[in-house]
Chain A
């Protein structure tokens, strides 16, 4: 009994229920929906947004925001693509490291601008977003980079534990593995390190965090570098799916990424949010996009249904939270403890 009570109190409950209900409906609408093949497919299609969502989660937890990720992924993808054309005999590890390094540099610049000069993150990252995008378009003229080496294309096709089922090869693709690794790393950092506690503390109250002894500037710079690193990984993941680099394709990516994180229950002003919530956000977005087509929902209605589901999920979450807070209003200490445990 107690376990059930504990479960229903979890903030991720609303979105989990939504995922289960939707899955049941969609499974009835199309028997293909709940096949392993389809699940792996839609996870693969959403791996890029997912990795970026894990990347910006710590930033959003500190109450910051990183608008530059959509330009950073374009930059990383172009650098990775050009590198592979220039050194066709290198290997995937080097490509990933280079792409992540480029992302880290952008993140460090963001972090430094924000901390050293105390500029609001939304302004600072809007600036870097514009500058980087302009630079990428100046350099590439928007022309696609094609003809990537065969070993890279093969890397994108790798399926772990592949087996044949109903005449199709089913397996966990490389992109999904990268997504899971990104999620695990993020989870370990924010849940089990002092750094992670500092991230939540800054989002809760910057002044208190400082007084308690957290190095707010260092932590802030770290979260932006982390976002850059993950964006670099997402860039390689993206070009490994499509096999070409289209510098214009990443426009407005940041909006889809934020949507995932916020649907996953992360507070818009920082302070709370979890890797589990973000993971569920990724799954929900993936299910909606994939399921609406499979359920043969008419094209023009798809966006309407999508918006409704998002609103419904978030409002269930908010109502739950309000109810909880109403209960805890008298005992402030307890509420803080709950927040810390998140």
Chain B
């Protein structure tokens, strides 16, 4: 009896904890929609911005931007997503928002194919659909917010690495978050292609090393790579834990002046390794701006505007539009020591 009771309690606790975080802003969402219903009378829009997952710094920062845009533009912004990068949970949550009758849904899909049916349903309900961070089925979205031009970003990191190395006749290595991450692979391919074309004497010592998106794995991998290839002069790090991880390894090896490192990073996490040149430059886009721009474009579409390259968007300014739908956030944001 006792046993049954406790296992039931455990189950309840587990579901409760999932619900708590799964809908980390469950309350917010509920109150948001309540406001939306009330607000629909005075013409206030309700815009849902859904990240791939909540609880990681990247999507926390984009959320801050989105919420800020909501305040600045006077629209209701609901920023909510699953706690794990789970496409099925995103589908369920979007279905709930369709029922609630929101005006726009901006989603960063975990799996574009899995979203198709539910996005179609949302469209039929007259909801404006945007994707951001990662593309969904292009035929279903009204606009697609790209954080960066993938090719330009990879080339930019490669150029900066050569700039910091001071030579294009050297060996370099690539350390990446994971071998199956599509966006990372896109940047790596662009960087490699650019190097092959423009720096024929630059030699990549091995295939990219994966680090499970973990800072300590990036740290030990960098140490091992430097032992295997002591002549390496430059390292490119893709995915945000590589910035602090590889940077710390270079500091502990005492190679700040011998090895140049250009890596993705969240700005706040790498101030320390930037300070002594362990990390020469951190690269990413402005995460707050990504959330902000998404909401601005959504509102502009709700106002009945049509996307055009160079058009002015309320609260943002001029935007770059490619192929009628793809809005590009802008060039990379580079972090140097403050």
CB contacts (< 8 Å) of A300 on chain B: these are 179, 207
| B14 pairs with A242, CB closer than 8 A | no
Question: Which of A90-98, A142-150, A212-220, A257-265 contacts the other chain?
Answer: A142-150
| B225 pairs with A293, CB closer than 8 A | yes
Task: Give the docked Cα–Cα distance between A142 and B63 (Å).
Answer: 13
| A119 pairs with B3, CB closer than 8 A | yes
Is A335's beta carbon under 8 Å from chain B? no
Q: Which A240-262 residues have a C-beta within 8 angstroms of B?
A: 241-244, 246, 248-249
CB contacts (< 8 Å) of B39 on chain A: these are none
Q: In the complex, which of the residues A118, A140, A146, A296 contacts B271, with contact meaning CB atoms closer than 8 Å?
A: A146
Q: In the complex, which of the residues B55, B206, B219, B220 contacts A298, with contact meaning CB atoms closer than 8 Å?
A: B206
A71 CB → nearest B CB, Å: 11
CB contacts (< 8 Å) of B54 on chain A: these are 137, 141-142
Task: Give the docked Cα–Cα distance between A294 and B24 (Å).
Answer: 44
Contact A142/B55 with A127-B10, A127-B14, A241-B216 known, Cβ cut-off 8 Å: yes
Is B148's beta carbon under 8 Å from chain A? no
| B241 pairs with A246, CB closer than 8 A | yes
| B223 pairs with A143, CB closer than 8 A | no
The CB with the most chain A CB atoms within 10 A, among B7, B56, B60, B227, is that of B227
Is A318's beta carbon under 8 Å from chain B? no
Q: In the complex, which of the residues A119, A123, A134 contacts B17, with contact meaning CB atoms closer than 8 Å?
A: A134
User: Shortest 7 CB-CB distances between A and B: which pairs?
Assistant: A45-B220, A293-B224, A117-B6, A299-B207, A137-B55, A134-B17, A142-B56
Residue tally, chain B, CB below 8 Å to A? 48
Q: In the complex, which of the residues B207, B216, B227, B228 contacts A249, with contact meaning CB atoms closer than 8 Å?
A: B216
Which B residues lie at the A interface, using CB under 8 A?
2-3, 6-7, 10-11, 13-14, 17-18, 20-21, 24, 54-57, 59-60, 83, 179, 206-210, 214-216, 219-221, 223-225, 227-229, 241, 244-245, 248, 252, 266, 268-269, 271-272
A238 CB → nearest B CB, Å: 7
| A144 pairs with B269, CB closer than 8 A | yes
Is A138's beta carbon under 8 Å from chain B? yes
The CB with the most chain A CB atoms within 10 A, among B21, B24, B209, is that of B21
| A299 pairs with B17, CB closer than 8 A | no
